[in-house]
Amino acid sequence: MNDSYKPKILAFLCNWCSYAGADLAGVSRIQYPPFIRVVRVMCSGRVDPLFIVNALKEGFDGVLVSGCHIGDCHYLEGNKYTVKRMEILAQLLDLSGIGRKRVHLRWASAAEAKPFADNVIEVSNIIKEAGPFNAKDHEMALNALTRALSTTRLRWLVGIDRHLTENENVYHEKTDPILFEKVKNDAITAEYQKALIQEALSKGPVTVREMADQTGIAIYTVSKRLNELELGGMADLKSCEGNTPRFASPV
Ligand code: FES
């Protein structure tokens, strides 16, 4: 990668720790690359993965989310939810072909000026190595990520994860984390595939084969997901050419 390339990185910094750490790094004259644009949030748990997808759509090459160490969150467990959200986002970024190396989660307390600077250096190098991010080349994938991350199913799963796997229910049973992980992974794949198909449907009446070509999903899987979308009222049969049906989004 060209040494003159300066990546644009959006950094969401928690007010109570990393933002203060960044401040201290400045006061202490600790150097780090000037590639980050800072958004101060009250807790890393405030960062919705949709904010990160929007940042990529708006032309950022990568995103850093930095908050208090686990156990030090001023809202007790906000950063534990951040971890869960970032895990789902990382899986979706891999599925989309954009890749998880564009988005990073790091911890740094208010007193950790040097670790904060080291985090920025490390993340900047990874994103620099990944090269410029062209949102136009990933338009369909980015729109599908927005759709998938907005679904009730994924938002519910990310919210309920810790509750189910760390707490006992009324029968003093815990949900098996391995089983929950499988359910979650299946849901992530299914919701992303449906979101991609919805993107194809939104461009006008399309056949199953055309949807498969546009999304890169196997024809059998397109048919299966299309059926689920039809049942949910999110896809309509529009016309038939001979024996070939064409589908589109409902009006
Ligand atoms: Fe800093 Fe929650 S208050 S991560």
Q: Which atom of ligand 1 is nearest to the CA of 78?
A: 2
Domains of the chain: 9-133 (3.40.50), 151-248 (1.10.10.10)
- Phi first, then psi, for residue 204 (nearest 5°) are 125, 175
The DSSP 8-state label assigned to residue 68 in this structure reads: P
| Paired tokens of 156 | 């519910």
Q: Is the CB of 41 under 6 A from ligand 1?
A: no
Per-residue pLDDT tens digits for 175-204: 899 999 999 999 999 999 999 999 999 998
What residues pair up with 240 in beta bridges, in sequence order? 245
Per-residue pLDDT tens digits for 155-174: 999 998 888 888 888 888 88
Q: Which atom of ligand 1 is nearest to the CA of 79?
A: 4
| Most confident of the following: 2-11, 73-82, 169-178 | 73-82
Best probe residue, ligand 1, of 13, 17, 19 (max atoms within 8 Å of C-beta): 17
What residues pair up with 14 in beta bridges, in sequence order? 41
Task: Tally Cβ neighbours within 10 Å of residue 129.
Answer: 10
Q: Which atom of ligand 1 is nearest to the CA of 17?
A: 1
Best probe residue, ligand 1, of 65, 70, 79 (max atoms within 8 Å of C-beta): 79
